[in-house]
Amino acid sequence: MIFSFGFFVFFIPGLLACSLPPFTRYYSVTERTVLAPIVVHARVINTTRSESQAQSKYDACIEVERVIKGRQYNIPRLFCLGKYGPDFLCLVHVIPGSSYIFFIDNDFTARYDGVPSAVAEVKNRRIIKQAQRGYCDPYGVGLDSKTCGNYINVSRTVTLL
């Protein structure tokens, strides 16, 4: 809710919801893997979120368990990335100690495609497999070649470097 008194405008966080354009698309975990240049399975070590800044953007420091897509970026085992925050800013929260699939842009910030979801919480192996379906490594480093060929047309989606 926004109140205006003269030249002053007061914003009360939490009373406004994330306002997306009509018909904003929801992408599955597999589709988000196709769209993101970097995808990792990682655990959140800590965040820069504090109680005094609970309504603003923050960074998350993660420990990578598996690189699903983006090996050419030489992704470190531990690093921090930005653009997480409250849902009214159309961002997502991440919780220290939890495991997620992180969808990351080339500049090592969270990647949001369609409905805001730059992460997928890893509650079971199925989420990891859904992400793996979105990237097919023709050399067998990612998925085994038998599974790989069933989901992705390699000639259309993978650029060999």
How far CA 6 is from CA of 2, 3, 9, 97, in Å, comes to 13, 10, 8, 46
Q: What is the set of domains in the chain, with CATH numbers?
A: 17-134 (2.40.50.120)
pLDDT, tens digit, 9 for 90 and up, residues 10-55: 444 445 567 777 888 888 999 999 999 999 999 999 999 877 666 7
**The pairing of beta strand 38-47 with beta strand 78-84:** unpaired
How far CA 67 is from CA of 50, 94, 108, in Å, comes to 29, 19, 14
* Contacts with 39 (C-beta within 8 Å, 6 or more apart), sequence order: 32, 33, 67, 68, 69, 70, 101, 102, 103, 104, 131, 134, 135
Specify whether the CB–CB gap between 118 and 110 falls below 8 A: yes
* Mean of all residue pLDDT scores within the chain: 77
Rounded average pLDDT over 85-103? 92
Q: Which of 117, 159, 113 lies closest to 138, judged by CA?
A: 159
**Encoded tokens for 51:** 């109680």
Rounded average pLDDT over 125-154? 62
The alpha carbon of 123 is separated from its chain's Cα centroid by a whole number of angstroms, namely 15
Q: Bridge partners of 84?
A: 58
